[in-house]
Structure 1
Amino acid sequence: MNTGPAHHDTVPVAPQDSRIIQRDHHSISRKDITPSALKVLYRLQEAGFDAYIVGGGVRDLLLNLHPKDFDVATNASPEEVHRLFRNSRMIGRRFKIVHVQFGREIIEVATFRAHHAEQEEQGSDHSRQAANGMLLRDNVYGTLEEDVERRDFTINALYYTTKDFCIYDYHGGISDLNNRVVRIIGEPEARYREDPVRMLRAVRFAGKLGFDIEPVTAAPIHQLAPLLAAVSNARLFDEVLKLLSSGHGLPTWKLMWQYGLIAPMLPDTWQSLQGDDEQTVQNRMMIELALANTDKRIAEGRPVTPAFLYAVLLWAPLLEELSYLQDEERMPLIPAMHEAAQRIMDRQVKHIAIPRRISSIMREIWELQFRLPRRQGKRPDQLMEHPRFRASYDFLRLREESGEDLNGLGIWWERYQEQTDDSRRSMIQDLKENYSEPPRSKRRRRPRKRTPSNE
């Protein structure tokens, strides 16, 4: 059983023999909803439309958590919503929605969706589905009851409205909250084929909430995981951030591992984690320590950067590529490191579109791992002035904590940062001329699929 953050043992609502939970039988109050979300609800209702807070906002309030944002569902079309709010913009083509902006807060407004099959059979351009079942366009609008059927999981299919202050629960979502399970709505394989990202969402909610994935919901995931290869690399970048950088990265990573969801998105990383030899165990340990540290920083309200996490995820593949270039192509260390980084990134962006602003920081963190051992003369002070020094030092300590032997390099740098200038000079002098740099890791090079240079 998963364990997660402390919640109510049961969600405080009436027995679930009714799909409409009256205001005196649930714990949600308007004071728990942001003024911006309430403004959107009220304006839509005053214009004659239905409007509901839906999904994670309702779910988290019932679990006594603090929703990160509030989404609104309505029977108003995107164009009608856009006309009602001057501070809004329509986005998306596959799934058209409206963002209403209040300062830094964005309220996402989506129109009720209906089933797409009939529209597609009639040749409507509002809905298109690929041969493998994936939805390519989904702008078929419908009723609240139809919209409920289109939601992904029961715990996200809860609707609250200020019109009557009731919660509408058509699929037993509150019962699943009480039982701490993530259950998909509809036939699991068909729903995953419509949108493979639903598999990632299943493990994300389970990891975040400490819930179990209901067995029928979980059953097809491992087999269908390769479908993620058809998802756009830009969308997967956003999804991986939600998975690993939202404060519950470590339990989510373990679920991703359990259900085979790592290989389609991070194939080089996945390959580096196969086996039970000492090096592979160290690779796994480094990633898990990085995720645990990231979760801790988020819990403490400290900033995190995806560049650091991606640098960790791709570190073992980088070293394997570096070892190949040095041993087989006889390249010097630093040029080989740069070439290895380029090759790793070129392969990775085919799966996850890591932006250049992030990949450039990753490269700097990696390069400094090979410069930090060089501590003669003025080099240590120059390295400390580097904008990525702190992240690179943290990365270095992470390598040591995961079991890599660096001859006490991390401890040396920890002491050096704490010393006066005179003491620093003494530390450098103590290294002496016969100082030997940390031993080069012997990386097990795994079978590689080499592609011709002209491809």
Structure 2
Amino acid sequence: MPEAEHGIPLKELCPHATEVVRELQQAGYQAYIVGGGVRDLLLGKAPKDFDVATDATPEEVHDIFPRCRLIGRRFRLAHVRKRGNLIEVATFRGPHDGEEGNGSANGRILRDNVFGTVEEDAIRRDFTINAMFLDPVSGEIRDYVGGYQDLCERRLRLIGDPETRYREDPVRLLRAARFAAKLGVEPDAESEEPIRRLAVLLEDVPPARLFEEVCKLFLTGHAMRSMESLQRFGLSSTLFPVLPESDKPGGVIIGPLLKAALENTDQRIAEEKPVTPAFLLAALFWLPVKAGTERRMAAGESEHEAILNAAEEVFYAQSRRTSVPKRFTAVAKQIWAIQPRFAKTSGKRWTRIFREPKFRAAYDFLLLRAVEDPALEELGAFWTQAQESRPMEAPAPAPSGPRKRRRRRPRSRNRKRA
């Protein structure tokens, strides 16, 4: 398709990706912008990034861009930097050879560095809407699998046999749910049918990779729709095994607190305000932490100790499915641990809570709890008024004046010299 037909203005393309493509083409190789960047431009959205595909091998890409980095074992890639911008360059993939050691017992591809042509690479991609190749120099789009028509009809369709493709990479199950939420596309019957049945395959995906997918689901502006999509396709309980299951197969219980947190996250992203996984995790796992806290308090633990122990228990159980970096779990624990202190509204030391580094996040979480438990509304109003009438206390200034020299102890005369 020429530029006049697909309508993507070349000036909207990333100039650094265009430069990488042009240099590869000048060296005698084929090169295109591929994947989600082309798809988003056709939908009128701003792409998050621009990836490049070429028939040059990673080593040949390195010869053209000597300062690039070759990464990956399962998929060998080149990371090319242009004026501080990272462009990912992948070699066209060919048909998987099925050699022993390249796959697992359930069909998942563990290693895949078989190179091929642009047509073979298109067939190897997951969904048709992600398999279009844009030449930013000529302006042409190459579409070998009907992705343009599917995108026009808002249809999500896997390339090849759906069950085989899901087994090759179970993360495609989550990608189907995310695209349905983000793009408003609907899976065709053949692509949707195996999702709920194959959800168990997510248990074989490395936990670190699943955490990346969780961030894409909930921290890119469509968190509420993503949760609804996970519920619809029966993926929630497999992805979050610590959450209480609902009466629907594969679903979990979503309380008012979590729903409000997801909606607030979407609103903050729409307003271009910062968001952090830590606060979302605090809302996501509050129900099991709350249940664990009540159980431990009934056994005799203090509320503070019970919250921290319950939090540790929940994160340990969840880490076997999605690993969560400690920098996020630590903040979530702080938010939870401050909650009991909000009940102390009198005495000499109640204002010390203002000095807590995570006070504001904990206060916002208290307001979310009030959405779920109206009995906390009065307490939330108290702390809102307390902040308005009392400025935040600044940390005590460092002592001024010269520092006193520390007296050195006299050396013992009986000590033997070395």
TM-score (norm 1): 0.82
In 1: Cα distance, 2:344 partner to 2:146 partner? 61
Q: Which residue of 2 aligns with 1:43?
A: 23
Q: Work out whether residues 370 and 376 of structure 2, in 8 Å CA contact, stay in contact via their aligned partners in 1.
A: yes
**May I ask how many residue pairs the two structures share in their alignment?**
388
For 1:311, which of 282, 286, 291 is the aligned residue? 282
2:254 equivalent to 1:274: no
User: In the TM superposition, what is the alpha-carbon distance from 1:380 to its structure 2 partner?
Assistant: 4.1
Residue-by-residue CA offset, 1:293-334 (whole Å, 9 max, x unaligned)? 10110010000000011111110000111122122x322221
1:166-205 counterparts in 2 under 5 A? 166-205=140-179
Q: Work out whether residues 156 and 186 of structure 2, in 8 Å CA contact, stay in contact via their aligned partners in 1.
A: yes
Q: Work out whether residues 18 and 137 of structure 2, in 8 Å CA contact, stay in contact via their aligned partners in 1.
A: no
Residue-by-residue CA offset, 1:166-209 (whole Å, 9 max, x unaligned)? 10111111111111121111111110000000011111111111
Residue-by-residue CA offset, 1:36-95 (whole Å, 9 max, x unaligned)? 111110111111111000011111111111111100010011121123224421221111
In 2: Cα distance, 1:104 partner to 1:208 partner? 28
RMSD, matched Cα = 1.7
For 2:329, which of 359, 379, 391 is the aligned residue? 359
User: In the TM superposition, what is the alpha-carbon distance from 1:403 to its structure 2 partner?
Assistant: 3.7
In 2: Cα distance, 1:323 partner to 1:40 partner? 57
Q: Which residue of 1 aligns with 2:122?
A: 148
2:355 equivalent to 1:385: yes
User: In the TM superposition, what is the alpha-carbon distance from 1:340 to its structure 2 partner?
Assistant: 0.9
User: In the TM superposition, what is the alpha-carbon distance from 1:29 to its structure 2 partner?
Assistant: 2.5
1:221-232 counterparts in 2 under 5 A? 221-232=195-206
Residue-by-residue CA offset, 1:138-173 (whole Å, 9 max, x unaligned)? 111100010001111111011111353210111111
In 2: Cα distance, 1:372 partner to 1:166 partner? 61
User: In the TM superposition, what is the alpha-carbon distance from 1:379 to its structure 2 partner?
Assistant: 3.7
2:104 equivalent to 1:130: yes
For 1:120, which of 95, 98, 104 is the aligned residue? 98
Q: Kindly provide the amino acid, as one letter, of the partner of residue 57 in structure 2.
A: S
In 1: Cα distance, 2:300 partner to 2:81 partner? 55
In 2: Cα distance, 1:394 partner to 1:275 partner? 30
Greater shift in the superposed pair: 79-88 or 204-213: 79-88
1:258-269 counterparts in 2 under 5 A? 258-269=232-243
Q: Secondary structure of 1:58's partner?
A: helix
Q: 1:378 to 1:182 in 2, by over 3 A?
A: farther
Q: Which residue of 1 aligns with 2:291?
A: 320
Q: Work out whether residues 51 and 74 of structure 1, in 8 Å CA contact, stay in contact via their aligned partners in 2.
A: yes
> Relative contact order: is structure 1 or structure 2 higher (C-alpha 8 Å, sep ≥ 6)?
1
Q: Work out whether residues 126 and 158 of structure 2, in 8 Å CA contact, stay in contact via their aligned partners in 1.
A: yes
User: In the TM superposition, what is the alpha-carbon distance from 1:407 to its structure 2 partner?
Assistant: 5.2
Q: Work out whether residues 87 and 102 of structure 1, in 8 Å CA contact, stay in contact via their aligned partners in 2.
A: no
1:81-96 counterparts in 2 under 5 A? 81-96=61-76
Q: Kindly provide the amino acid, as one letter, of the partner of residue 307 in structure 2.
A: M
2:188 equivalent to 1:214: yes
In 1: Cα distance, 2:342 partner to 2:81 partner? 45
Greater shift in the superposed pair: 378-387 or 39-48: 378-387
2:341 equivalent to 1:371: yes
For 1:99, which of 51, 67, 79 is the aligned residue? 79
Greater shift in the superposed pair: 158-167 or 179-188: 158-167
User: In the TM superposition, what is the alpha-carbon distance from 1:262 to its structure 2 partner?
Assistant: 1.3
Q: Kindly provide the amino acid, as one letter, of the partner of residue 98 in structure 2.
A: E
Q: Secondary structure of 2:237's partner?
A: coil
| Larger Cα-atom Rg | 2
User: In the TM superposition, what is the alpha-carbon distance from 1:103 to its structure 2 partner?
Assistant: 4.7
2:314 equivalent to 1:344: yes
Residue-by-residue CA offset, 1:274-299 (whole Å, 9 max, x unaligned)? 259xxx97x52221111111011001
Q: Which residue of 2 aligns with 1:287?
A: 258
